[in-house]
Amino acid sequence: MTNRIMFYCQHVLGIGHLVRSAEIVRELARDSYVLLVTGGEIPDGFRFPENIDTLQLTPLKASPDFSSLQLCDFSRSLEETRAIRRTLLLRAFNEFEPDVLVTELFPFGRKHFRFELLPLLERARGQQPRRTLVVSSVRDILVNRKDQEEYEQRVCSLVNGFYDLVLVHGDEKFLKLDESFSRVTDLRCPVAYTGYVAQQNQPDAGKSYGFPVADQRRPAIVVSNGSGQYLTGQMLLESMLRAAHLLQGQIPHEFHVFAGPLMPEETYNSLQTLAAASGSVRLSRYTPDLAAVLKRAELSVSMGGYNTVMDILSAGVRALVYPVTSNGDQEQSVRAEKLARMGVLDLIGPEELAPEKLAQKVGAALRNEPTRLALNRGGASNSALLLRKYLAMHREHISDVPETWLGSREESVAQRQVPERRKAGARSKGIL
């Protein structure tokens, strides 16, 4: 029997959550039917895995301070958009009838999306018998909150009320979840570490990955900025472009700068003007193959997002990292500072963003050899293995529980007829 997995991912500002989720569902789709539900802006050029169904909800994003939701499409009001999304999500669950429901980050984050996720969880829990395994998928470090005690209580209540498993996409020998969430032991479901999720595709020797074929032997410095929406990253790129101009006659390198697919057009135009002042800079919006690009580079300069750091570690490239700390978020700095103490990379401090100082940092970094760190980076394939394991255990447990016992504890929901074969695709079913 082929398993059916519904994977919900809502990215709100950057695209890191989407990238990590795509890697996981790529592995899941090897032997399962997968429906990937996304709810944020999809950047041009982003490649979804093959052999999966997708459901794109009307996109929503977060305000810059993450305090509220904002529309990406202004043809409807926020309330209308929320209602439409909720209806589509529940319809997708009914029609796809998943064996596994995965919510990326929720309930450890994305509280603004409770309007659609709580009804979805209630629907999954209301089955007779309770067939769907409900799983939370989280990264290694969670964001610290001003109301940390209240936040952790809310998470514990939701996990213990709805979830069968928490998958932590990290290596517990390097960072444990309880370093940013103190009540892990209060969670009544298993908490399993998958290892870090990293892109596993190998670079194609016949592809240039943005490097002009004639210049591929010229050492490259790769400067990247994630989605391009963070002000921190925009400042880093501006300083780096000015530093590149200063370094033009000092080092025989070429700068390949990826501004980010969601960077505002006005900001990107300003960077183009700066890039044009130096003959050693090639500026572009985005590459979906950053991991492959870094394998050809001498140095990476970037922020400290989860996926970028994994690309750095996979490539074994020298790296300068400027962690995002806006809105009190310490996730990037915690990870990057630990790696810096181990000699894996070097940090850029706010006081070092001046172009002259940044140029000095680049020169010094090119003379260093990074420490190689042995981390478990098989998170995507291990996630698939763990889901199969716990789904088998879940099915065995449910088969041992009398139906009358289940009925006394869970709301009855009319069951739809189970199809004998996979639905041909989300769009043809009216899901989209």
Rounded Cα distance, 324 and 242, in Å:
20
pLDDT tens for 193-228 read 999 999 876 545 445 445 543 345 578 999 999 988
Confidence label for 407 from pLDDT (cuts 50, 70 and 90): very low
199-213, 216-230, 349-363, 392-406: least confidently modelled range: 199-213
- The per-residue pLDDT for 427 is 40
**Closest CA relative to residue 426, chosen from 46, 94, 71:** 94
Over range 371-392, report the average pLDDT: 96
CA 248 to CA 245: how far, in whole Å? Answer: 5
Taking all residues of the chain, what is their mean pLDDT, rounded to a whole number? Answer: 88
Residue 283 structure tokens = 């500026």
- 333-345 pLDDT, tens digit per residue, is 999 999 999 999 9
In tens, the pLDDT along 78-96 reads 999 999 999 999 999 999 9
Q: What's the pLDDT at 62?
A: 84
Three-state DSSP class for 169?
A: strand
pLDDT band per the 50, 70, 90 thresholds, residue 328: low
CB 331 within 8 A of CB 265: no
The pLDDT of residue 412 is 30
Residue 401 is predicted with a pLDDT of 53
Residue 424 has pLDDT above 90, yes or no: no
Element (H, E) at 246: helix 231-247
Sign of CA dihedral 411, 416, 418, 422: negative
- Partnered with residue 37 across adjacent β-strands are 8, 55
Tokens matching residue 378:
């098989």
Give me the pLDDT at residue 33, please. Answer: 98
In the predicted structure, residue 77 carries a pLDDT above the cut 80: yes
Say what the pLDDT of residue 428 is: 38
Q: Residue 423 has what pLDDT?
A: 39
- 97-155: pLDDT as tens digits: 999 999 999 999 999 999 999 999 999 998 877 789 999 999 999 998 889 999 999 99
Q: Is the pLDDT of residue 405 over 60?
A: no
Query: Is the predicted pLDDT of residue 357 greater than 80, yes or no?
Result: yes
Residue 58 φ/ψ region, left for φ over 0, alpha for ψ in the -120 to 50 degree band, beta for the rest = beta
Residue 400 has pLDDT above 80, yes or no: no
CA distances to 23, 37, 250, 351, 352 from 358, rounded to whole Å, are: 33, 41, 14, 9, 6
When comparing pLDDT for 358 and 130, which is higher? 358
Going across the sheet that includes 3-9, the strands are: 53-56, 32-38, 3-9, 100-104, 133-139, 165-169, 191-193
pLDDT exceeds cutoff 90 at 311? yes
Q: How many CB atoms lie within 10 A of CB 2?
A: 9
On whether the CB atoms of residues 413 and 97 are closer than 8 A, the answer is: no
CA distances 6 to 170, 276, 358, Å, are 22, 46, 45
* Position 279 pLDDT exceeds 50: yes
Give 351 or 425, the one with higher predicted confidence.
Answer: 351
More reliable by pLDDT, 145 or 321: 321
Name 393's Cβ contacts closer than 8 Å, sequence gap at least 6. Answer: none
What percentage of the chain carries pLDDT values higher than 90?
72
DSSP string, 407-427: HTTS---PPPPPPSS--S-TT
In this predicted structure, what is the pLDDT of residue 330? 87
- Residue 368 to residue 283: CA distance in whole angstroms: 26
How far separated are the first and last CA of the chain, in Å rounded? 26
Nearest residue to 317 (alpha-carbon basis) of 337, 333, 294, 340:
294
Structure tokens at 10: 């809502």
What would the two tokens of residue 104 be? Answer: 């990326």
Determine the pLDDT at residue 202.
Answer: 53
Element (H, E) at 241: helix 231-247
Minimal CA–CA distance to 138: which of 155, 153, 115, 124? 155
pLDDT band at 66 (very low <50, low <70, confident <90, very high): confident
- Token representation of residue 114: 């409770």
Q: For 414-423, write each residue's pLDDT tens digit.
A: 333 233 333 3
Contact between residue 101 and residue 71 where contact means Cβ atoms under 8 Å apart: no
Query: Which of 63-67, 118-122, 232-236, 309-313 bottoms out in mean pLDDT, i.e. has the lowest?
Result: 63-67
Q: Amino acid identity of 190?
A: P
Neighbours of 330 (CB within 10 A): 15
The identity of residue 189, as a single letter, is C
Q: pTM of the entire structure?
A: 0.88
Mean pLDDT confidence for 266-285: 93
DSSP 309-340: HHHHHHHT-EEEE----GGG--HHHHHHHHHH
Judge whether residue 314 has pLDDT over 60.
yes
